[in-house]
Amino acid sequence: MKKIVSLLFAAALILALAACGSKADENASIGEQVDHEIIGIDPGAGIMKAANKAKEDYDLSDWEIVEGSSAAMTATLKKAYDKEEPIIITGWTPHWMFNAYDLKYLEDPKGSFGKDENIHTIARNGLKEDMPEAYQVLDNFHWDTDAMGEVMMEIYDGTQPEDAAAAWVKDNADLVSEWTKGVSKVDGDKIKLGYVAWDSEIASTNVIGKVLTDLGYDVTLSQVEAGPMWTGVADGSLDAHVAGWLPITHEDYATKYKGKFEDLGANLEGTKLGIVVPSYMDIDSIEDLKAE
Model confidence pLDDT, tens digit, residues 245-283: 999 889 999 999 999 999 999 999 988 899 999 999 999
What pLDDT, on a 0 to 100 scale, did the predictor assign at position 127?
98
What pLDDT, on a 0 to 100 scale, did the predictor assign at position 25?
59
CA distance readout (Å), 242 to 10, 16, 85, 102, 229? 62, 57, 36, 28, 10
User: Which carries the bigger pLDDT value, residue 256 or residue 3?
Assistant: 256
What pLDDT, on a 0 to 100 scale, did the predictor assign at position 291?
61
For the chain, domain boundaries: 1-27, 28-114+274-289, 117-270
pLDDT-derived band at 177, boundaries 50, 70, 90: very high
Which residue, 120, 117, 71, is CA-closest to 92? 117
Average pLDDT over residues 100-128: 95
DSSP assignment letter at 184? P
Report H helices in 89-131.
Answer: 97-100, 127-130
What pLDDT, on a 0 to 100 scale, did the predictor assign at position 123?
98
What pLDDT, on a 0 to 100 scale, did the predictor assign at position 248?
83
**Residue 112 phi/psi, 5° resolution?**
-60, -35
Please tell me the least confidently modeled range out of 7-21, 96-110, 246-260.
7-21
What pLDDT, on a 0 to 100 scale, did the predictor assign at position 115?
83
pLDDT tens per residue across span 27-65: 788 899 999 999 999 887 888 999 999 999 999 999 999
pLDDT-derived band at 105, boundaries 50, 70, 90: very high
Average pLDDT over residues 148-158: 93
What pLDDT, on a 0 to 100 scale, did the predictor assign at position 18?
43
User: Which carries the bigger pLDDT value, residue 291 or residue 56?
Assistant: 56
Strand partners, 190: 218
Give CA–CA dist 147/133, Å, rounded: 24
State whether residue 123 is helix, strand or coil: strand
Bond prior to 86 in cis (omega within 30° of 0): no
What pLDDT, on a 0 to 100 scale, did the predictor assign at position 15?
44
Please give the mean pLDDT across all residues of the chain.
Answer: 90
Contacts of 233 (CB under 8 A, 6+ apart): 122, 123, 124, 194, 239, 240, 241, 257, 260, 261
CA distance readout (Å), 176 to 125, 167, 184? 25, 12, 14
What pLDDT, on a 0 to 100 scale, did the predictor assign at position 10?
45
Contacts of 46 (CB under 8 A, 6+ apart): 226, 245, 248, 249, 250, 251, 252, 273
Percentage above 70 pLDDT, the chain: 90
pLDDT tens per residue across span 181-219: 999 999 999 999 999 988 999 999 999 999 999 999 999
Q: Which CATH class is domain 117-270?
A: alpha beta
DSSP assignment letter at 96? T
DSSP assignment letter at 128? H
Domains 28-114+274-289 and 117-270 share a fold: no
Q: Which CATH class is domain 28-114+274-289?
A: alpha beta
What pLDDT, on a 0 to 100 scale, did the predictor assign at position 130?
98
Please say if the pLDDT value at position 158 is more than 70: yes
Is residue 261 within 8 Å of residue 235, measured between CB atoms? no
- Give me the torsion for CA of 93, 94, 98, 99, rounded to 10°: 170
